[in-house]
Amino acid sequence: MLDLFTIFSKGGIVLWCFQSTNQIFTSSVNALIRNVILQERTGVNTFDHNGLSLQYKLDNEFDLVFVVAYQKILQLSYVDKFLNDIHLEFRDKYKNELTDGKYFLEYDFVDTYNDTLQAAEEWSKLQSKLPKQMRTFEESVKSKKTVASMIERKGEEKLVKTAKKKEVNFRDEGIIIIPRNKKVASPLPPFSPKSQENGLIDEETLVANRAKLAKKLQKKKPETK
């Protein structure tokens, strides 16, 4: 239910106005003009003031402003459609007068206003009864990627937390994660004191370790049929 609909020029001349209540809307409309329209705030077509929601549409060709006002607590999904439709109706009907700058005429616009508003309300009711539109293939793929990335991130976070609680032991076979305070068998025999002199491994021990590792890896290979 719209409380106010008005059409006025950017010069402040009211061309047409309809009110469904006795409420005075002057302060709210002036606030809209002062805080939004005159400041040319792009991307903003809704303004709240004194418990009212005001939506507007500009016609830059004829320097007109179309404004509707309704109670802020209401959720009116048809207002955007109504503003677009009523704007086209008014332009088409009075294009010649607007071109000639005849802003002081009595515009007979009641029937057009009522018909356009009723059509917008009926459209809104039909839209609310329609089933939710199925997502497109692209949207579904995008959603799957998003979910997959979330799972991957959670897995990475869990791995980081696990790694912080454990010690990492680097050996020739790769990285072995060893829980704290828990002993595990070494995958390779310990180095002899001789092999650890000056922090280096002697060539004999190194060759022996490589041979043992090669045998161990060969046993792990699956048998081919």
**Which structure tokens are listed for 183?**
């002993």
- pLDDT > 70 fraction of the chain, expressed in percent and rounded: 62
Between 87 and 181, name the one with better pLDDT.
87
Helix, strand, or coil (residue 172)? coil
- Mean pLDDT computed over 14-25: 90
Lowest mean pLDDT among 43-47, 153-157, 167-171, 193-197: 167-171
Q: What pLDDT shows up at residue 70?
A: 94
What does the angle CA 66 – CA 68 – CA 70 come to, to the nearest 5 degrees? 170
**Which structure tokens are listed for 112?**
């057009």
Return the residue matching tokens 């705030």. 41
- Mean pLDDT computed over 180-185: 46
Report DSSP letters for 51-90, one per residue. Answer: TEEEEEEEETTTTEEEEEEEETT---TTHHHHHHHHHHHH
Domains of the chain: 4-129 (3.30.450.60)
Q: How far is CA 25 from CA 7, 55, 96, in A?
A: 14, 13, 30
Q: How far is CA 154 from CA 37, 144, 158, 162, in A?
A: 47, 15, 6, 12
Instruction: Locate the DSSP E strands across the chain.
Output: 4-9, 14-19, 46-49, 52-59, 64-71, 166-171, 174-179
Whether the Cβ atoms of residue 124 and residue 77 lie closer than 8 Å to each other: yes
**Using one digit for the tens of pLDDT, what is the confidence trace for 153-178?**
666 666 556 555 544 443 444 444 44
Q: What pLDDT shows up at residue 65?
A: 94
- Mean pLDDT computed over 176-196: 46
Helix, strand, or coil (residue 19)? strand
